[in-house]
Amino acid sequence: MKVLVVGNGGREHALVWKLVQSPRRPQVFCAPGNAGIETLAACVPVNANDLAALKTFAQREGIELTVVGPEAPLALGIVDEFRRAKLKIFGPTKQAARLEASKIFSKAIMAQAHIRTARSQAFDKPADALAYLENHELPVVIKADGLAQGKGVLIALTREEARRAIVDSMEHAIFGEAGKQVLIEEFLEGEELTIMAFTDGRSVAPMLPAQDHKRVGDADTGLNTGGMGAYCPAPLGTPALRAQVTKEILQPIVDAMSRLGSPFQGVLYAGLMVVGGVPYVLEFNARLGDPETQVVLPLLKTDLLDVMEAVVEHRLDQLRVEWHDEHAVCVVMTSAGYPGPYQSGMRITGLDAPFEDAAVVFHAGTAKRNNDIVTAGGRVLGVTGRGGTLAEAQAVAYRTAERIAFTGCHYRRDIAHRALVTR
C-alpha cells in the first residue's frame, strides 16, 4: 500500500516513523519531508501548500492514502481537492478545518454545542473592540481570528498593551487578513492540557493526554515558541478527566459539525485550560499538534494505518484504539536565537551514534549538505525517550540529547518537570 504524508516537520517525521512500523508494510512517501524523514520514506520535492502538484503526484504514483500534517493545506482545502479526484485522504475539509482556521467560527460552534470555554466577544471594527476593552477586567486575551503561525494571541496585562494589540491586528494588519477580526477573551487561570482525538465524523477515539512547553526558557520563562518539548501521558489528564472531555467537548463538537453539514474527519485537537479540575476549551486545532505528536504516537499500540483507514472509511466505531502503558518525553533542540532570528546550516554531530532502543530522534528543521546533516529551521530536532515511568522516559530523552551537538544548540532542561515535581 502506498501512503503519502504531507509536511516537513517533527510531527511528520513521527507520522512517517509510525506508519512504516505497520505490519502491513506500506510504502511511504513524504512531501516535502526533511533529512530525517528521508531515511524512512521517499521524499518528494513538492511544497505542502501546492495542492495541485500534490494531487498530480498522488494520481501518478497511485497513492492509496494521503495524511496531512500541517494546518495550512487543510485550510486551503486539500481534502476537498483530493476527494473530488476520488483520492483517499485523512484530514478535515476546508469547511471543517474552520474549527482551527477561524477562532470566531470555533467559538460560535462551541456556544451552539454548550461547550465550556473562556467568555469572549468577536469584533470586525476596531472602534467597537476598543470600546468593549475599556470595561474588560485584566489580564485580557486578544486573539486574531485566523491562522497566525502561533503569534496571533496576546495576553495583555495592561489596557494599553491590549489597545496596541487590537490596533496592530485590525488596523496595521500585522497578521494580514487573519487579524482583521479579533476576539477579546476572558483570561483563565489554570493548567493547560492537550487532548487530541481521532474522529471519522461520528465516533471519537481520544488519544492519551499530553502537555507541551511553549516558553523558550527553563521554568517557563522567555518568549513563546512553537513548542520546546512535551510529555505524555500528563497526570493532569486522569482517566476521569479524559472521559469528561470526550463526553462534554469532543463528541459534542463532532456532532455539531455534522449537524452543520461539515462533518469533521481526521484529528481533532482540543487545547484545554483545566481550572480547578474543570476543563475549558482554549482552542481547537484541526490536526495533530507538534511536538505533542512526538510523544503521543510512540505510545499508540494499535496500528496507525488501521486507525487512519477506519477514519477515512467512517468505521472508527468498529476499531478499538489501544495504548501502551508507558510514558514518553520529547525534548526539542533549537537553533541559537529561536524564536527570534537564527542562523541555519550548522553541522549536526552525533546523529549516527547508536541510540538506546527507547530513544528516537525526530527531525524538525534539518537538511542534507553533501554528506552532512545541517540545521535548517528554528526547531531542529525532537528527541523522544520512552520508559516505564515518566522519570525514566525523561532520562532517556536527555541522555540522547546530550550526545547530539551543533553550534548554538539550545534545549530546555526541565521538560516534564512539572509532572515530576508536583505529583
Of 144, 150, 153, whose CA–CA distance to 173 is shortest? 144
Q: Cα separation of 95 and 2, whole Å?
A: 27
142: left (phi over 0), alpha (psi -120 to 50) or beta: beta
Smallest gap from residue 159 Cβ to ligand ADP (A): 17
Smallest separation, CB 319 to ligand ADP (Å): 29
CB of 154 to ligand ADP, least distance (A): 8
Per-residue binding string, ligand ADP, 172-191, x by CB under 6 A, is -------------xxxx---
| Least separation in angstroms between CB 271 and Mg ion | 5
Residue 388 binding: pick among ligand ADP, Mg ion, none (C-beta 5-8 Å cut-off by kind): none
185 binds, among ligand ADP, Mg ion, none (CB under 5 to 8 A by kind): ligand ADP
Q: Which is nearer to ligand ADP, 120 or 302 (CB)?
A: 120
- Applying CB under 6 A, what is the total number of residues that bind ligand ADP? 14
Helix locations, 102-171, DSSP H = 103-112, 126-133, 159-170
By C-beta, is 229 or 271 nearer to Mg ion?
271
Told to check if 339 binds ligand ADP by CB under 6 A, we report no
* Nearest-approach distance from CB 335 to Mg ion, in angstroms: 22
> Given the rule CB under 6 A, which of 51-59, 149-157, 345-353, 395-403 is the region that contacts ligand ADP?
149-157
Residue 38 has what DSSP assignment? G
Minimal distance, residue 155 CB to ligand ADP, in Å = 6
Q: Are the CB atoms for 39 and 66 separated by under 8 Å?
A: no
Binders in 240-279 for ligand ADP, by CB under 6 A: 271
Interface pick for ligand ADP out of 125, 138, 150, 322 (rule CB under 6 A): 150
Residues 6+ apart with CB under 8 A from 387: 326, 327, 358, 393, 394, 395, 396
User: Using the rule CB under 5 A, which residue among 26, 271, 289, 365 binds Mg ion?
Assistant: 271
Determine, following the binding rule CB under 6 A, whether residue 303 of this chain makes contact with ligand ADP. no
Least Å distance, CB 145 to ligand ADP, is 10
* Residue selected from 71, 80, 200, 283 as contacting ligand ADP according to rule CB under 6 A: 283
Of residues 18-77, which lie at the interface with ligand ADP (CB under 6 A)?
Answer: none
Least distance from C-beta 151 to ligand ADP, angstroms? 7
Minimum CB–partner distance for residue 144 and ligand ADP (Å): 8
Residue 323 interface partner, choices ligand ADP, Mg ion, none, CB cut-off 5-8 Å depending on type = none
Among 192, 248, 306, 414, binds ligand ADP (CB under 6 A): 192
Stretch that binds Mg ion, among 200-208, 267-275, 327-335, 370-378 (CB under 5 A): 267-275
Per CB under 6 A, 292 contacts ligand ADP:
no
Site stretch for Mg ion (CB under 5 A), options 125-133, 206-214, 263-271, 402-410: 263-271
Site for ligand ADP in 99-118 (CB under 6 A): 118
d(CA 339, CA 328): 25
Give SS3 for 273: strand
Q: Which is nearer to ligand ADP, 201 or 271 (CB)?
A: 271
Footprint on this chain of Mg ion (rule: CB under 5 A): 271
Footprint on this chain of ligand ADP (rule: CB under 6 A): 118, 141, 150, 152-153, 155, 185-188, 192, 271, 282-283
